[in-house]
Every structure is written in C-alpha cells, then in structure tokens.
C-alpha cells in the first residue's frame, strides 16, 4: 500500500470521526464469524439497502504477563440480504494495546496513523455475500500499566464511506494479577493498571461511546480534509 493510500485512509477516517464517530482496520480469512460481541459498535455512513455490516470482538482475551503478548480475533460480517460490495477493515490500537500484526494486512506507517493511536493495519476484505463473514487473527501486546483500546472501522473499498465502526472500545480488568502467568481482560472494561499508583495514571482516551480524538479540534479537520483530497485525487484500488 502506498503512503498516499494510507494517508487517504487515515485522513478521511479522522474527518468522519470528528463529525460524529471515528473510523479506523485485516485480510480476508476463512468464512468464520466466530463468537464475539459488537459492543461499542455504531453505524457511521448509511449502507445501501440490503447491506448491514457489523464487526465482532472476543468478549475475553488473555495477556501473557511475561511477554505482554495477546491474540484477538476480529470478525467482519454482512448481516444484510445483498452483497456488501468491496470492503476494507482497519484495526487500530490505543494506549496500552498495540497491534503488532494482522494476518494478510498492510501496516499503516506511524506518520499516517490517526492522532491518539499507536498502531494500525489496513486490510482488504473484498466482497461479503449476504449472511457471510470473515475473521482475522490479530497479534497485539498489552502494557498492563496502562489502559488499552482497539477500534475496528469497516469502510468501502475506495475509502469514501464507513458503514460501521466498533470502538475505540477498551479491554481491561478491575482485578490485576501481576504474579499470575496471564491476566484475563474483558471487552468493555476499563483497565485498572497493575503498577503501584496506577490509579493516578492519566486515562488513555475517553469512554467507548466517544472518540478519543474529539478534543483535537481544528487539527483534525485539517488532517481529515487532506485525506479526503487524497481520496478524491487517487481512489484506493479495489481489492476483491
């Protein structure tokens, strides 16, 4: 993926987030919707009649206390009655949660990440037939001394519209267990930092129903406008 393409994705995503909800992405895998939750998800741009795109995240993940590694399954689903058209998924990490790899997806360069995020991947999902879904294996690390969130926006192939966005939604625990081999984290739970005095640490973002980028103001509008210009001048190639 070129820098211009990733700039278009990040920029227009930020513009959409400032106006209502933020939009943020992993390659198509097997047709497996898995088990999960759409907690923190919302419609951004209206999809065509018969198309209903959603995403799912696991209700529970586990962080290895030694390596800080964790694994997340992200699922994109078309619950409608018609083909979705070409889709893209963005997978973006915030705070203590850093996305290190999404199978088959392209990493978004640091300079093109939306403000407030620390990592991100852009994935070409392609078409989803009615009732079909695609799941992706997401590798991540989680610094349990911080709060961490993830965001899954689902966009059209050309990046001009975002049909759905889940998050930024937190994974966390209110009962840290630093001496255990692993710490279980629950979706929709703000993390209580393990480190001494962790309760005094600054929060990494706001509630899951509000974008953490809202306070950026004019800067976001400028970045979003630039992204939209890139999108109009050189649309993202369609990937099936």
- For 173-225, how does the pLDDT look when each residue is reduced to its tens digit (9 = 90+)? 998 888 899 999 999 999 998 755 444 434 444 343 333 333 333 333 333 33
> From CA 79, how far away is CA 81, in angstroms rounded?
7
Give the closest residue to 112 by CA, choosing from 221, 228, 5: 5
Cα radius of gyration (the chain): 17
Average pLDDT taken over every residue of the chain: 77
pLDDT band at 227 (very low <50, low <70, confident <90, very high): very low
Q: Decide if 61 contacts 191 (C-beta within 8 A).
A: no
Judged by average pLDDT, the poorest of 97-101, 127-131, 159-163, 227-231 is: 227-231
The pLDDT value recorded for residue 196 is 56
The answer, yes or no, to whether the previous bond of 168 is cis (omega within 30 of 0) is yes
- For 8-58, how does the pLDDT look when each residue is reduced to its tens digit (9 = 90+)? 444 444 333 333 334 443 333 333 334 689 999 999 999 999 999 999 999
> From CA 25, how far away is CA 7, in angstroms rounded?
14
Portion of the chain with pLDDT greater than 90, in percent: 61
The pLDDT value recorded for residue 195 is 57
Q: What phi and psi values does residue 127 have, to the nearest 5 degrees?
A: -90, 145
What domains, with CATH codes, occur in the chain? 25-106+116-204 (2.60.40.10)
- pLDDT top residue among 20 and 144: 144
Residues 6 or more apart whose CB falls under 8 angstroms from that of 17 comprise 23, 114, 211, 213, 214, 220, 224
Residue 51 DSSP symbol: -
Q: Decide if 34 contacts 134 (C-beta within 8 A).
A: no
Residue 134 has pLDDT above 50, yes or no: yes
């Amino acid at each position: 993926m070129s820098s211009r393409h990733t700039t278009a994705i990040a920029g227009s995503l930020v513009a959409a987030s400032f106006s209502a909800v933020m939009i943020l992405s992993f390659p198509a895998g097997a047709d497996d919707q898995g088990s999960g939750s759409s907690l923190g998800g919302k419609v951004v741009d209206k999809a065509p009649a018969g198309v209903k795109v959603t995403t799912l995240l696991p209700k529970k993940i586990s962080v290895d206390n030694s390596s800080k590694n964790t694994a997340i399954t992200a699922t994109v689903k078309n619950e409608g009655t018609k083909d979705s058209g070409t889709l893209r998924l963005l997978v973006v990490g915030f705070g203590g949660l850093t996305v290190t790899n999404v199978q088959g997806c392209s990493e978004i360069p640091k300079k093109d990440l939306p403000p407030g995020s620390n990592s991100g991947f852009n994935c070409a999902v392609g078409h989803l037939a009615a009732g079909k879904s695609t799941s992706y294996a997401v590798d991540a690390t989680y610094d349990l001394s911080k709060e961490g969130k993830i965001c899954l926006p689902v966009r059209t192939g050309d990046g001009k519209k975002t049909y759905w966005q889940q998050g930024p939604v937190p994974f966390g625990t209110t009962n840290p267990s630093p001496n255990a081999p692993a710490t279980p984290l629950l979706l929709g739970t703000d993390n209580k930092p393990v480190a001494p005095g962790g309760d005094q640490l600054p929060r990494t973002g706001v509630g899951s129903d509000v974008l953490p980028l809202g306070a950026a103001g004019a800067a976001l509008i400028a970045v979003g406008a630039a992204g939209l210009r890139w999108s109009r001048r050189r649309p993202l190639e369609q990937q099936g």
